[in-house]
Structure 1
Amino acid sequence: MIHTIKKAITLFSLVIFGSAILYNCEPDPDNLGEQLFLDGAAQGNEKSFDITAFNINNNDTIRTDASKLTYGVLGAFNEGQFGMQKASYLTQLRLSSYNPDFGTNAQVDSVVLVIKPRFASDSVTTNTVDDNYTYTTFADGTVNAKKVVNTYPVLKFGKAKRTFNIRVNEVDEFLKGVSDSAKSNAAYPATTLLGTKEFKGSVSSVAITKDDGERHCLQLQHRESEFHWIKHFSRIRLLQKRAA
C-alpha cells in the first residue's frame, strides 16, 4: 500500500514539473511584423521596367500523327508580348481499302473537306424552324415538311465571338504511311490555295421532318465549312421549298 502511494506521488510530481517546463518555453508576445499589416505602415517606391520578350525555339518535337494526336488545334492567338501564334495541321486522303471499284471511266468532279470541331451539345444558342417545305414519297405523296436548325457553340479559347478565315492549301509531298510516325517539326511547303471559308465559331444540325413532327424523314448536318448528306431515306423522292 505504501509502495503504491509513493508511485502515485512520484507520477504526480513529474506531471507538475513537466507542465511548468512547457509553460516556461512559450515566448512572450511581441510586435514583430506588425508594420506589415498596418495601413500605410509599409513604405516603398514603385518602379516600372520595360521587358523585351522573345520566342525561343528549343527544337522540341512531339509525335503528331493520328495514332498519337487525338485532337488538333486550328486557329490563331495574338498575345501582346509574344505576338501572333498560329496553329494548323496537315492531312491526306487514304482509302479504306486498296483497288476500289469506282465504275467505268469515273471522274472526280468535287472534293469535300469535312472539319468536325468539338462543340457543347447541351448549349443550343439558336433554334430555327422553317415550315415552308414539302417532300414527296411513294407511299404518302406530297407531304408538308419543316426544317429545324439547331446551332451550338464550338469549344475554343480566346475571343469566342471573333470570326476567322480557314485557308486550305495543297501539299505536293507525301505525308508518310499509316504506320510511320510524324513529328511536329517536319516542314511540308504548301502550294496552291484551294479555298477559304469564314468560320464564325458555331456548328449547326439540320433536320427535315413532317410538319406534324411525328417522325424524321431527312437529316442533314452543316458544320460551317462542310455541306454533305448525313442520312437519307430511300422512300423520299423529292424535297422542295413550298411557294410563298
Structure 2
Amino acid sequence: MTIKNTMLKITTVVAVVFSFVACEDDFETIGSGVIGEPGFNTGLYEDAEISAINNDLAPVQTNNLPLNLLGVYTDPVFGSQKASIVTQLSMAQTNPSFGNQPELDSVVLTIPYFSHVLETLQTGETVYKLDSVYGNSAIKLSILESNYFLNNYDPSTDFEQAQKYYSNLTPQIESNLTGNVLYQNDNFRPSPAELIEINPGATANRDTLRLAPRMRLKLSVDFFKSKIIDMEGAPELASQANFRNYFRSLYFKAEQIGNKGSMMLLNLAEVDAGIILYYRSKIVDATDSDGDGDTTDLVDVNKSFKLNFGPTKVTTFDQESPQFTEGNLYLKGGEGSMAIIDLFSGADTDGDGVSDELEFLRDSEWLINEANLTFYVNRNFMTGLDEPERIYLYDLDNSAILADYVLDDPGQLNSLTSTSNENHLVPLKRDESGKGISYKVNITDHINNVLNNEETNVRLGLVVTQNVNIVGNSAVLQTEGANVQKIPAGSVITPQATVLYGPNAEDADKRLKLKIYYTEPKN
C-alpha cells in the first residue's frame, strides 16, 4: 500500500468557479502581456513590513483525521513527541453465529504499512521500503482495553453536532483502562519484511499469500474467547450500538525506550486493517470430506470473524515544547507549533485598520506580475531533524486555502496527486548533499486581491504538512489566550519539523521577505 494511492482516495476536491474581471485600464493584473512594452515600467518591491510570531499549539482535534500517527519521535529541537491511538471497534456482521462447538485458534491484529517495492528477487521475494515511518529505534507498544466511551455526537449539543475529540485525551483513556492487556512488546519496531501467510481454507485447503509489510500482532485468545465467542446470541452483539457500549474502545499505547524511538503513519480504515478471530467449528460431514465413509459424523471447518477499527478514532499526543529563539520560525507537526504571519504590518497613523504601507500600495494601482515569500531553512537547527518536503500557507482568519492554491496552474484546478501545487507551494529546495535550503510560496493571486481588489489583509498561518492535498481543518482547543481556531489536518498527521529564518533574523540575506514584481504605466 503506497501513501500516494491512499492520498488519492482520501483527498476531497472542492470545485471553485472563478470569474476574471479586467480592470478599468483594460490590462490583466496577473501575468500581464504588457510587461516590458513601451509606456510601462517594471519593478520589484521587497520592502514590505512583515511580522511573524511562533505559536505553540494547544491540543488539536484528531478524530477527523484520514490517517493516524502511532509511536515516539524525538529530535534535538522539539524534544520527544509521543502519539497513541484510541479507537472504537465495529463488527463486520452483527448478531454473529459461530457454529457448533467453536474453538478459537488465534486472534490477529493487522494494519498495513505504507510501503513501495524496491526490487523482486529471483527467489520470488519482494523487497520493500517503508514510507512514512520516522526514526528507526524500538518503542514499547501495548494494546489495551479501555472502558472510555467514544461518542459519535456531542451530548452537550443534544447530540445534534458531531463530537470533537482532542489530542489531550490520554488521562481520560488511561483512567478507564480495564486491566486487560491484549498485547505487549517492549521492543517493537516496524519491519519492512514481506509477510508470508498461510490462509486457512474452509477445510484442508490452504493458500499461501505474499503480503506487503504490515503490523501483524497476535492478541490474547482468552480475552476474545470470553469477550466475543462466548457471547454468541447475547444482546451485546445484536447491534453495533450495543457492541460499542459493551466493548468501548481499544487503546494502542506507545511508550519511549531510552531517548529515541520510531513513529508510523497508519490507515486504520484500510480494507485489510482490523482484528480477525480465527476459529474452528463443527459441521456434519455430508460429503465425506475426510474419506472415512461416514456422512453423519462431525468435522472441523476453519472460519473467521472480523472486527474493524472505528468509525471513531482519536490520536493523542504528548509533546514537549521547544525553546523559541528570536528571529526564527518553528514549525512542527502533530500537536506541535506553527507561525502566524502578518503582511504589511507597519504603522496605521490614521487608525482606520489599514497600515500606511498597504494604503500606499493600493493607491499605486500596480499590475501584479508575481508575488512570493521565500523561507530559508536555518541549518544551525537541522541536525537530527527529518525535514518536511512541503510547507503549507493558509488564510488563518478564515481557516481557508489561499486563491493561489486553487489556481496552481493558470485557470485550472490543482491535480489530485501528492505533488500537486508545486507552483504555489514549491517543494523544499535542497543542495547537492540533500540538505534543505529554502521553501518558496507563490501568492500572486492573494496579493493582487489584497492590493487591487481590496480584500481583507488576513493573517497567514504557516505549518508543515504531510500532504498538500489534505485541505480539511482540525479545530484547536480554545483555551485562554488562544489565537488560532483551526489548523490544516495535513499538519496533524506528520511529526516532521523545521526551523526557518523569520523577518527579523540576524542574517539579513536570509530574512523572510515578500517580493512583489509589478508593472505600472509611465507617467
Give the TM-score of the pair, scaled to structure 2.
0.23
The structure richer in strand per residue is 2
> Which one has a bigger Cα radius of gyration?
1
**Larger RCO (alpha carbons 8 Å, 6+ apart):** 2
